[in-house]
Amino acid sequence: MQTLSICAQSNPGGSPAAAVLPPGDGESGGYRRIALGVEYDGSHYCGWQFQPHGPSVQQALQEALARVANHPVTVHCAGRTDSGVHALGQVVHFDSAAARSERAWLLGTNVHLPADIAVQWVQTVGAGFHARFSALARHYRYLILRRPARSALWHRRAVWTHRPLALPPMQTAARALIGRHDFSSFRALACQARSPVRTLHYLELREHGDLIEIAVGADGFLHHMVRNLAGVLLAIGRGDAPVTWAAELLARRDRNQGGVTAPAHGLYLAQVDYPAHFHLPRRDDGLPGML
Same domain, 26 and 100: yes
Catalytic residue among 41, 82, 273, 285: 82
According to the model, what pLDDT value does residue 166 have? 95
Same domain, 85 and 43: yes
Same domain, 66 and 106: yes
**Please, are residues 202 and 178 in contact by the beta-carbon 8 Å criterion?**
yes
Provide the CATH number for the domain around residue 214. 3.30.70.660
CA atoms of 76 and 250, how far apart (whole Å): 32
Same domain, 129 and 172: no
According to the model, what pLDDT value does residue 29 have? 56
> Does some domain include residue 235?
yes
Same domain, 101 and 145: no
> Does some domain include residue 162?
yes
What's the Cα-to-Cα distance from 126 to each of 22, 35, 77, 81, 142, rounded to whole Å? 10, 10, 16, 25, 33
Same domain, 143 and 70: no
> Does some domain include residue 279?
no
CA atoms of 19 and 31, how far apart (whole Å): 7
> Does some domain include residue 79?
yes
According to the model, what pLDDT value does residue 189 have? 87
Q: pLDDT 10s per residue in the chain (291 long)?
A: 443 333 333 333 333 333 334 333 444 558 899 999 999 999 999 999 998 889 999 999 999 999 999 999 999 999 999 999 999 999 999 999 999 999 999 999 999 999 999 999 999 999 999 999 999 999 999 999 999 999 999 999 999 999 999 999 999 999 999 999 999 999 998 888 999 999 999 999 999 999 999 999 999 999 999 999 999 999 999 999 999 999 999 999 998 887 789 999 999 999 999 999 999 998 765 554 444
Q: How far is CA 17 from the centre of its chain?
A: 23
**CA geometry: angle 20, 131, 157, nearest 5 deg:** 140
According to the model, what pLDDT value does residue 258 have? 79
Give the number of other CB atoms < 10 A from CB of residue 44. Answer: 15
**Please, are residues 93 and 34 in contact by the beta-carbon 8 Å criterion?**
yes
According to the model, what pLDDT value does residue 114 have? 98
According to the model, what pLDDT value does residue 3 have? 39
Same domain, 18 and 83: yes
According to the model, what pLDDT value does residue 15 have? 34
According to the model, what pLDDT value does residue 11 have? 36
Provide the CATH number for the domain around residue 83. 3.30.70.580
According to the model, what pLDDT value does residue 7 have? 37
- Tally of domains within the chain: 2
> Does some domain include residue 278?
no
> Does some domain include residue 78?
yes
> Does some domain include residue 22?
yes
> Does some domain include residue 284?
no
Cβ-count burial 181-199 (b if 16+ within 10 Å, e if not): bebbbbbbeebebeebebe
Same domain, 111 and 141: no
According to the model, what pLDDT value does residue 8 have? 34
**Please, are residues 157 and 86 in contact by the beta-carbon 8 Å criterion?**
yes
Provide the domain limits for residue 31. 1-135
**Please, are residues 124 and 253 in contact by the beta-carbon 8 Å criterion?**
no
According to the model, what pLDDT value does residue 30 have? 80
| Known catalytic membership, residue 116 | no
Same domain, 55 and 111: yes
According to the model, what pLDDT value does residue 38 have? 97
Same domain, 143 and 73: no
Give the number of other CB atoms < 10 A from CB of residue 137. Answer: 14
Same domain, 50 and 60: yes
CA atoms of 122 and 142, how far apart (whole Å): 26
For the chain, the 3-state helix, strand and coil shares in percent, each to the nearest 5, are 25, 30, 45
Same domain, 183 and 98: no
